[in-house]
Amino acid sequence: MNKRIGILTSGGDCPGLNAIIRAVVKCASLKGWEVYGIPYGTDGFLRLEQKQCSSDDLKLKEHGYDLPGILHGIDILQFLSGSILGSLSKGNPNDKAIAKTIIQGYQDLGLDALISVGGDGSLDIIYDLAQQGKWNIIAIPKTIDNDVPFTDRSIGFDTAVDKVTSALYDLTFTAASHDRTMIVQVMGRNAGHLPLRSGIAGGADIILIPELTPQIDTDLIHNICIHIAKLRCSGRKFALIVIAEGVKNLQGEKEKYIGDYLAEKIDQASHKLCLSDQPEFCDLEKIETRATVLGHIQRSGMPSSYDRLLAATFAKKAIDLIAEAKYDQLVVKQNGDVGSQPLEKVVTHIKQCHQKGFCPNPVNPDGFLVETARSLGIYLG
CATH number of the domain at 243, please. Answer: 3.40.50.460
Residues contacting residue 210 through CB under 8 Å, at least 6 positions apart: 190, 191, 192, 244, 246, 247, 359, 362
Residues 98 and 117 in one domain: yes
Residues 82 and 147 in one domain: yes
Instruction: Count Cβ atoms below 10 Å from residue 168 Cβ, excluding itself.
Output: 23
Q: Are 5 and 55 in contact (CB under 8 A)?
A: no
Which residue, among 17, 5, 254, has the nearest Cα to 122 in the 3D structure? 17
CA distance 259 to 240: 12
Residues 57 and 186 in one domain: no
Number of domains in the chain: 2
Residues 212 and 164 in one domain: yes
CA distance 7 to 137: 10
CA distance 196 to 242: 8
Answer whether residue 88 is part of any domain: yes
The per-residue pLDDT for 250 is 94
Residues contacting residue 268 through CB under 8 Å, at least 6 positions apart: none
Q: What is the pTM of this model?
A: 0.91
The per-residue pLDDT for 168 is 96
Based on its alpha-carbon atoms, the radius of gyration of the chain, rounded to whole angstroms, reads: 23
The per-residue pLDDT for 64 is 52
Answer whether residue 83 is part of any domain: yes
Residue ending a domain, among 299, 314, 337, is 299
φ, ψ of residue 136 in degrees (nearest 5)? -90, 110
User: What is the set of active-site residues?
Assistant: 145
Q: Are 150 and 345 in contact (CB under 8 A)?
A: yes
Q: In the chain, what is the greatest distance between 2 CA atoms, to the nearest angstrom?
A: 81
CA distance 290 to 287: 10
**CA 298, 302, 305, 311 torsion-angle sign:** positive
Residues 55 and 118 in one domain: yes
Separation of CA 99 from chain center: 27
Residues 20 and 126 in one domain: yes
DSSP letter (8 states) at residue 302? P
Report the SS3 class of residue 51.
coil
Residues 20 and 95 in one domain: yes
Answer whether residue 375 is part of any domain: no
Residues 289 and 313 in one domain: no
Q: How far apart are the first and last CA of the chain?
A: 57
φ, ψ of residue 9 in degrees (nearest 5)? -120, 135
Residues 287 and 213 in one domain: yes
DSSP letter (8 states) at residue 52? S
CA distance 91 to 103: 10
Residues 47 and 96 in one domain: yes
CA distance 173 to 171: 5
The number of helix segments (H) and strand segments (E) in the chain equals: 12, 11
The per-residue pLDDT for 151 is 97
Answer whether residue 368 is part of any domain: no
Print the domain residue range for 248: 160-299
Q: What is the CATH number of the domain that holds 112?
A: 3.40.50.450
Residues 168 and 140 in one domain: no
β-partners of residue 341 are 330
The per-residue pLDDT for 67 is 45
Residues 33 and 113 in one domain: yes
Answer whether residue 196 is part of any domain: yes
Q: Are 237 and 179 in contact (CB under 8 A)?
A: yes
Answer whether residue 190 is part of any domain: yes
Which residue, among 127, 133, 107, has the nearest Cα to 49 in the 3D structure? 107
Answer whether residue 179 is part of any domain: yes
Answer whether residue 9 is part of any domain: yes
Instruction: Count Cβ atoms below 10 Å from residue 367 Cβ, excluding itself.
Output: 12
Q: Are 149 and 347 in contact (CB under 8 A)?
A: no
The per-residue pLDDT for 47 is 85
β-partners of residue 260 are none
- Burial grade of 62 (CB within 10 A; 0-12, 13-18, 19 or more): middle
Which residue, among 238, 240, 193, has the nearest Cα to 378 in the 3D structure? 240
The per-residue pLDDT for 318 is 98
Note down pLDDT in tens along the chain; length 381 residues. 789 999 999 888 899 999 999 999 999 999 999 999 998 888 888 888 888 888 888 888 765 554 445 545 677 787 878 888 887 755 566 788 888 888 998 999 999 999 999 988 888 889 989 999 999 999 999 999 999 999 999 999 999 999 999 999 999 999 888 888 999 999 988 999 999 999 999 999 999 999 999 999 999 999 998 899 888 878 888 999 999 999 999 999 999 999 999 999 998 887 777 767 676 666 666 678 899 999 888 988 899 999 999 999 999 999 999 999 999 999 999 999 999 999 999 999 999 998 998 999 999 999 999 999 999 999 999
